Chain A
Amino acid sequence: MSTLQIGSRPRAASTSPTRRSTPRRSDSSRWLILGVMTISVVYFLAPVWWLLVSSTKSDSGLFSGNGFWFNGFHLWSNIRSVFAQDNGIYARWLLNTLVYAGLGAALSTLFASLAGYALAKFPFRGSGALFNIVLAAVLVPQPLLAIPLYLLFSPVHLVNTYWAVLIPSMVSPFGVYLARIYAAASVPDEVLEAARLDGSGEVRTFFQISLRVMSPALVTIFLFQFVSIWSNYLLPALMLANESLQPVTVGIVGWQQQHGSGNAVPTNVVITAAALCVVPLVILFLSLQRFWRSGMTSGSVK
């Protein structure tokens, strides 16, 4: 248990028969816990609630009255405006983001798990140093690497293409870290040895056995990377000039920045667009949560 294990307990299944026989906790501490958790929920959700409520308001009703409560209900017309603005480019932006985040997260998870697995299961001279280099890279301020990347991508004509955003999205040093720790703790050497004796190649063993054992960690890596690509702004803003290639974050900021001209995008449309782009992330989290749960609770019967 010296290492961090995200997602699930990699140990073999075990049950805890003593569970039900322990005495119930007192009601007062139960209420205390519930109270603390409810206050925290208010703290974390109030700004999101503001965003939701604001997305139901008309442009003129946005800043009049209580910000935390409804003021007319224009959500549907706002959503229609978002998807009608600039010939419906918003849908395109969402699709782009989905491609960047989905593909980028999937590939980065695959590459990170390959690398982490190799570092955990096939140590060689220098593998420790290699791992430390990967971790040290996290220390370098990311935003400033965007400019050197641009200069690097330019001569090979990658700037202003899907690749300009996809390629950097495929790399996740944190993913390598997680995969290495998880592989070390959860993939038993005996299983690999047995597969070897059965004549299975290392690549096949990885895809058929190890990857499955590592799946809770993979879900974690995928989710973290997906969210970080979905949120990324600086890199795509620099790399992409063509509006139809941009992800939704760059698009929304573009709309927001038009503020300052006669025919700007109305603020309520910008706010609704911002609220809408969170929806797919919530759906993703809710659907992955099931995998997560199954991974996390595989060891205990509830």
Chain B
Amino acid sequence: MTAHAQPRELRTDNRVSGRRPLARAAASRRNRNIALLFLTPFALLFLAVYIIPIAYTVDQSLYKLRHDGLGLGAPTKVFNALGNYADVLRDSAFTGSIERVLLIGLVQVPIMLGLALLLALLLDARSTVLKRFFRLAYFLPYALPGVVGSLMWAYLVDPGLSPITALAHDIGWNLNPTSSRMLAPTIGNMLTWGWTGYNMLIIYSALQAIPPELSEAARMDGCSAWRISWHVKIPMVRPALILTTVFSIIGTAQLYNEPATLQTVAPNVGSSYTPIFAAFTAVADNDFPYAATESVILALLTLIVSFGFLRLVQRTGSIR
């Protein structure tokens, strides 16, 4: 999918084989043999760790576990064709969870990437001091293992223990991060905190790759730093922004850790708060086929949204 975002890059592939037809065929065959040799270790592992489990998941989504009598004996597995898909799409808890992550994503992803871009541009600015310190500070949340982050946030958002709530109370703000209205913002905050640094680093690296002559030339023309950022730097890091957006879409679709953390202190986070949460609940109920169906639907939806986004930027990109 990302190849669509890199049309010019794809073209470089053809450069090697842009000769006479016969030689091209020979080169292609030779290329294939070398490529296969280089690809083998990754391909074998990829097959074992991704393709086979995915195939298994898709296969399981076509079955259903049936009981009889009081249902206290081992179930039988019966073929159910697309029956599970119909059930999942009718399951209001699941469709509700999809709507929820869509909303969270629509609000949180732009905020996070905007912040990441801003910080990357500031880090890239020539006059900024203490660059190494700032870069490490922004990146640190990403380096915290998820379970450590969870442990930490569970205390930081618990209205009874949170030092943040305590500070807010001191200034007269009755903040409760776990109230029903605040759940989504709290999750959004945890996501922004954890992933801005990661995205910033990707954008920052892309900024570093911009030839300094470009900015210099603009500066000689009397452009202000803000104008240079807007007209030179941001267009140049467009591919990085597209990449981080797609990653953020995928990450939001697979949201699990943050709501699961929150559930330990907020009783109002339901067990199908997000699609992955719902799938885990189905697994705990020993209904893997249902969980598999939910995963496949989620993957397809993610594909559609990511593709839709790439199409969109492609179109606006060509207009620009």
Contact = CB atoms under 8 A, between A and B. Distances in A.
Whether chains A and B associate is yes
Interface of A: 1-11, 14, 16, 18-19, 22, 24-25, 29-30, 33-34, 36-37, 40-41, 43-45, 47-48, 50-51, 54, 63, 66-68, 110-112, 114-115, 117-125, 127-128, 130-132, 134-145, 147-149, 151-152, 167-168, 170-171, 173, 176-177, 181, 184-185, 189, 202-203, 206, 220, 227, 230-231, 233, 248-249, 252-253, 256, 270-271, 274-275, 277-278, 281-282, 285-286, 289, 296-297, 299-300
Contacts of A148: 52-54, 56-57
A47 B3 contact: no
B156 interface: yes
Given A25-B225, A125-B32, A138 B250 contact: yes
A286 B15 CA distance: 39
A40 B138 CA distance: 8
A31 B167 CA distance: 27
Contacts of B127: 24-25, 29-30, 33
Contacts of A152: 48, 52-53, 56
11 contacts: A1-B209, A2-B7, A44-B138, A44-B196, A111-B45, A123-B28, A144-B276, A173-B46, A181-B9, A231-B145, A282-B136
A200 to B, nearest CB: 13
A235 B225 CA distance: 47
Given A36-B122, A252-B151, A141 B56 contact: no
A43 B193 contact: yes
Contacts of A203: 37
A293 to B, nearest CB: 8
B159 interface: no
B216 A67 contact: no
B132 interface: yes
Nearest to A300: B212
**Which of A1, A10, A206, A289 has most chain B Cβ within 10 Å?**
A1
B234 interface: no
Contacts of B250: 138-139
B228 to A, nearest CB: 11
Task: Give the interface SS of chain B, mostly helix, strand, loop or mixed.
Answer: helix
Interface string B128-162: 11001011111111111111100111011000011
Contacts of A167: 45, 48-49
Contacts of A134: 46
Contact of A16 (B8, B13, B136, B216): B216
A3 B209 CA distance: 10
B49 A168 contact: yes
Contact of B15 (A127, A131, A189, A256): A189
**Which of A2, A37, A253 has most chain B Cβ within 10 Å?**
A37
Contacts of A202: 34, 37-38
Given A122-B32, A124-B35, A139-B250, A37 B1 contact: no
Contacts of A184: 9, 12-13
A252 B299 contact: no
A139 B306 contact: yes
Nearest to A290: B132
Interface stretch (B62-70, B78-86, B290-298): B290-298
A131 B3 contact: yes
Nearest to B202: A6
A171 B143 contact: no
A37 B132 contact: no
Number of chain B interface residues as a range: 35 or more
B16 interface: yes
A7 B144 CA distance: 21
Contacts of A206: 38
B225 A253 contact: no
Contacts of B123: 37
A248 B28 CA distance: 47
Contacts of A18: 216, 220
A137 B137 CA distance: 31
Q: Would you list the 5 A-B pairs with minimal beta carbon distance, nearest first?
A: A67-B163, A118-B38, A148-B53, A124-B32, A2-B8
Contacts of B134: 37, 40-41
**Which of A18, A47, A115, A125 has most chain B Cβ within 10 Å?**
A47
A47 B153 contact: yes
A97 to B, nearest CB: 9
Nearest to B41: A111
Contact of B42 (A2, A45, A48, A114): A114
Nearest to A230: B145
Contact of A48 (B132, B135, B144): B144
A124 B295 contact: no
Nearest to B123: A37
Contacts of A16: 212-213, 216
Given A189-B15, A253-B147, 11 more contacts: A25-B126, A37-B119, A45-B137, A51-B148, A114-B41, A123-B17, A139-B299, A152-B48, A171-B45, A274-B148, A289-B135
B16 to A, nearest CB: 6
B183 interface: no
Interface string B47-61: 011111110110000
A289 B205 contact: no
B208 A143 contact: no
Given A1-B236, A8-B208, A16-B216, A140 B34 contact: no
